[in-house]
A and B are shown apart, each in its own frame.
Chain A
Amino acid sequence: MDIFSDLIMGLSIAITPINLLYLLIGAVIGMIVGVIPGFGPSAGLAILLPMTFGMDPIGAIMMLAAIYYGAMYGGTITSILLNTPGESATVASTFDGFPLAKNGRAGPALVMQAVASFVGGTMGIILITLLAPMFAQVSRSFGPPEYFLLALMGMLTLIVMIGENWRLGIISALIGFALGTVGVDLETGQGRYTFGSAELIGGIYFIPIAIGLFGLGELFFAFYSGLHRTGTGGIVNYETEERFWPTRMDWISTRMTMVRHSILGFVVGVIPGAGATIASLMAYSTERSLSKHPENFGKGEMAGLVAPETANNAASSGAMIPLLTLGIPGSASTAVLLAAFVLWGLRPGPLFMEQNPELAWGLIASMYLGNMALLAISIFAIPLFVQIIKVPYRVLGPTVVVICALGTFSVNASFVELYIMFAAGIAGFFMRLYGFSPAALVLALVLGPLAEEALRQTLAISRGSFSIFIERPASLWIIVVTIVLVVFLPLLNRFGSKAETAKKSGI
């Protein structure tokens, strides 16, 4: 397979006026979603997924992917100007982003975060281009035992990353698995937990749960946290600054920061469950330990902003690898993206790139274009996003409820799904409040049916013997990697959390 001819073919598909329009719309929506505190890419994707139904699959997937990585760009604007991260992956960007803005360097900080995001995102896509076909090649030998173990790996890594609330993470995942068992059992035709309802025969649909948990649940939690009461009075006014563009020193001092954290972010992103948040915190911590002036971190050091920004964008690209080549989402956002693929009748996995080259390479090519567009948008459209930040939450809240409700209904014209969405919203609020993990629930809802089917097939092949998992070399390797990750990831998590703790205690 010639990667470059595939990429050129992908570009020829992505560069059509209508696809470029979808890409731009997705990028802008992604940035808007990122700018709104409390809403991350998962919420944006879940809420907006139903709106792509009238589109052709390539355009829809390109737009959804642009929302996904666009949210990473947008989330930092509020981190810098308001000291309020748009989502968890941009928490580390507040550490030096806001001090830079307070020191009268908001303009350079905004430009550098856009450039860092662009470099991280683009490096991530270059690595996807080179590595995705290789991953697909390796995973072609995978059968049901490997798929079961991969699903298990995805869940376990996500749960260990939850940290001290790991038990609540397991309960969240088990609720997701339980919801995934509703509907007719495909092997025997027996109904499970349908209670005579015709609407539940096909199972509990993923979209209402995702929209409820991430859309409404987050919104209720934002109201509980009082976000609708806090105004935007603390926003830094960058327009009065003398100098908008970064200095030569800013570029020179951060060029290697961008390179190293692109690679680190990508690697962390590929690991299921790790994701952009941990990548950004790790990058901040690493950059501070490598810096000649660690004492400047937390006081407005440009490298302290560039490092997490590069890493979180590279991580969001990295997370596409297991999704495209294994069909295993490593995070809630990629689980929603997987749901989008499935809705379009596509099944990501080892054969996905071979069987759907136009779509796979069109998507990859569109990510190059999307990052270029986002670079321009996030520098030149800052005034627009500042206006969006100023829209009060008390007005935004009811409007989000409307979009969630009508979006859910539009999928299958089902009132039952609408009620499920509202119920999931209320449950999502309490889950968020008491330390449960909505992301683990959604991931388990997606992976549960896959894991169950794979486990039953595996035990049918092995006539009920679990030794099949250690007899097959590929399975054994996945077990070893899972054990390493389960042991290693909490250390990474602790490393990342140290940056947050150190910042909070002013060290």
Chain B
Amino acid sequence: MRLAFLLVVLAGAIFYTYIAFVDLSFMTRSGRLGPGFFPRLVGVIAVLFIAWSVFDAMRDRDSTDAGGSNSAWSDAILLMALAVGYAVLLRLFGGFVATVIYLAVALAILNRRRHLQNGILAVAVPSGVYLLFDSLLNANMPPALFDMPF
């Protein structure tokens, strides 16, 4: 997994450096440093360092991988999946409704067999947050893509 993560970072760094060399000029017409100067510098150094780390990770493949248990991974990935689902819900149903659905689902999975507590939290937290952001702080709440009937 560590190697895979480093390879993704390396791919990103190569792409970043490629754009810096292809799209961005090193000097301006007036002879001053151009918009490509810093990205090229950063990109080249990043590619070198990440490639070095990839090489090390490949060499010590067995010893360096984080040996988290399956349950550790599944719990972290479950929470990430729920968070990504929440991002989609926010776009579709807006701040309040999306938060109620997200909390109801997330708590049903994570805080099992406490239906009453979960139900109260799934309504109370979004209400509290709505009051805080929308009424007290006058801040933006995500609008719904689809209008709700209520």
Q: Please tell me if B86 contacts chain A, counting CB pairs below 8 Å.
A: yes
B28 contacts across to A, CB distance below 8 A: 187-188
The residue of chain B having its C-beta at the shortest distance from the C-beta of A219 within the complex is B79
B129, A398: Cβ atoms closer than 8 Å: no
A220, B80: Cβ atoms closer than 8 Å: yes
A392 contacts across to B, CB distance below 8 A: 111
Within 8 A of B (CB), among A95-152: none
Task: Please tell me which one of the listed residues A171, A397, A410 contacts residue B137 in the complex, with CB atoms under 8 A apart.
Answer: A410
B50 contacts across to A, CB distance below 8 A: 171
The A interface, classified by DSSP as helix, strand, loop or mixed, is helix
User: Total number of A-B contacts with CB less than 8 angstroms?
Assistant: 171
Between B5, B68, B76, the greatest number of chain A beta carbons within 10 A of the residue's beta carbon is seen for B76
Task: Please tell me which one of the listed residues A167, A395, A412, A455 contacts residue B53 in the complex, with CB atoms under 8 A apart.
Answer: A167
B132, A51: Cβ atoms closer than 8 Å: yes
A190 contacts across to B, CB distance below 8 A: 24-25, 34-35
Distance from A83 Cβ to chain B, minimum over Cβ atoms (Å): 21
Q: Please tell me if B93 contacts chain A, counting CB pairs below 8 Å.
A: no
* Given contacts A54-B138, A193-B16, A434 and B5 within 8 Å (CB-CB): yes
* Given contacts A228-B110, A395-B111, A398-B107, A434 and B139 within 8 Å (CB-CB): no
Within 8 A of B (CB), among A212-246: 216, 219-221, 223-226, 228-229
A434, B2: Cβ atoms closer than 8 Å: yes
Q: Please tell me if B91 contacts chain A, counting CB pairs below 8 Å.
A: yes
A220, B107: Cβ atoms closer than 8 Å: no
Distance from A267 Cβ to chain B, minimum over Cβ atoms (Å): 32
Task: Please tell me which one of the listed residues A174, A221, A398, A452 contacts residue B46 in the complex, with CB atoms under 8 A apart.
Answer: A174
Other A-B pairs, 8, CB within 8 Å; known A178-B46, A402-B103: A175-B9, A187-B28, A192-B24, A398-B82, A402-B126, A406-B141, A415-B142, A434-B2
* Given contacts A54-B139, A187-B28, A395-B111, A426 and B80 within 8 Å (CB-CB): yes
The residue of chain B having its C-beta at the shortest distance from the C-beta of A426 within the complex is B80
* Given contacts A220-B80, A410-B139, A418 and B90 within 8 Å (CB-CB): yes
The residue of chain B having its C-beta at the shortest distance from the C-beta of A401 within the complex is B83
In the complex, A187 Cα to B35 Cα: how many Å? 8
The residue of chain B having its C-beta at the shortest distance from the C-beta of A453 within the complex is B38
The residue of chain B having its C-beta at the shortest distance from the C-beta of A224 within the complex is B76
A224, B42: Cβ atoms closer than 8 Å: no
Q: Mark B96-128, 1 if CB is under 8 A from A, else 0.
A: 000100110011001100000100010001100
In the complex, A418 Cα to B86 Cα: how many Å? 11
Between A51, A170, A171, A455, the greatest number of chain B beta carbons within 10 A of the residue's beta carbon is seen for A171
Q: Please tell me if B148 contacts chain A, counting CB pairs below 8 Å.
A: no
Task: Please tell me which one of the listed residues A50, A405, A452 contacts residue B86 in the complex, with CB atoms under 8 A apart.
Answer: A405
A50 contacts across to B, CB distance below 8 A: 139
In the complex, A171 Cα to B129 Cα: how many Å? 37
B129 contacts across to A, CB distance below 8 A: 402-403, 406
A223 contacts across to B, CB distance below 8 A: 75-76, 78-79
Distance from A381 Cβ to chain B, minimum over Cβ atoms (Å): 21
Task: Please tell me which one of the listed residues B6, B42, B84, B137 contacts residue A181 in the complex, with CB atoms under 8 A apart.
Answer: B42
Q: Please tell me if A430 contacts chain B, counting CB pairs below 8 Å.
A: yes
B46 contacts across to A, CB distance below 8 A: 171, 174-175, 178
A402, B38: Cβ atoms closer than 8 Å: no
Q: Please tell me if B150 contacts chain A, counting CB pairs below 8 Å.
A: no
B23 contacts across to A, CB distance below 8 A: 192
In the complex, A401 Cα to B53 Cα: how many Å? 32
B79, A220: Cβ atoms closer than 8 Å: yes
Q: Please tell me if A433 contacts chain B, counting CB pairs below 8 Å.
A: yes
Which B residues lie at the A interface, using CB under 8 A?
2, 5-6, 9, 13, 16, 19, 23-25, 28, 32-35, 37-39, 42-43, 45-46, 49-50, 52-53, 66, 68, 71-73, 75-76, 78-80, 82-84, 86-87, 90-91, 95, 99, 102-103, 106-107, 110-111, 117, 121, 125-126, 129, 132-133, 136-142
Return the 5 tightest CB-CB contacts between A and B, nearest first.
Answer: A410-B139, A185-B35, A398-B106, A224-B76, A413-B140
Q: How many residues of A contact B (CB 8 A)?
A: 59
Task: Please tell me which one of the listed residues B71, B86, B137 contacts residue A401 in the complex, with CB atoms under 8 A apart.
Answer: B86
In the complex, A456 Cα to B31 Cα: how many Å? 12
In the complex, A456 Cα to B68 Cα: how many Å? 45
Task: Please tell me which one of the listed residues B42, B91, B137 contacts residue A177 in the complex, with CB atoms under 8 A apart.
Answer: B42
In the complex, A405 Cα to B98 Cα: how many Å? 11
A422, B53: Cβ atoms closer than 8 Å: no
A178 contacts across to B, CB distance below 8 A: 13, 16, 39, 42-43, 46
CB pairs A–B below 8 angstroms (13 shown):
A175-B9, A178-B13, A192-B39, A193-B39, A221-B76, A226-B72, A402-B86, A409-B140, A409-B141, A410-B137, A452-B38, A455-B33, A460-B32
Q: Please tell me if A399 contacts chain B, counting CB pairs below 8 Å.
A: yes
In the complex, A418 Cα to B6 Cα: how many Å? 25
A434 contacts across to B, CB distance below 8 A: 2, 5-6, 66
B141 contacts across to A, CB distance below 8 A: 406, 409-410
Distance from A55 Cβ to chain B, minimum over Cβ atoms (Å): 8
The residue of chain B having its C-beta at the shortest distance from the C-beta of A174 within the complex is B46
In the complex, A380 Cα to B119 Cα: how many Å? 33
B35, A402: Cβ atoms closer than 8 Å: no
Q: Please tell me if A488 contacts chain B, counting CB pairs below 8 Å.
A: no
Q: Please tell me if A429 contacts chain B, counting CB pairs below 8 Å.
A: yes
The residue of chain B having its C-beta at the shortest distance from the C-beta of A403 within the complex is B129
* Given contacts A177-B42, A224-B76, A188 and B95 within 8 Å (CB-CB): no
Within 8 A of B (CB), among A386-407: 392, 394-395, 397-399, 401-403, 405-406
Q: Mark A422-454, 1 if CB is under 8 A from B, else 0.
A: 100110011001100000000000000000100
In the complex, A429 Cα to B83 Cα: how many Å? 13
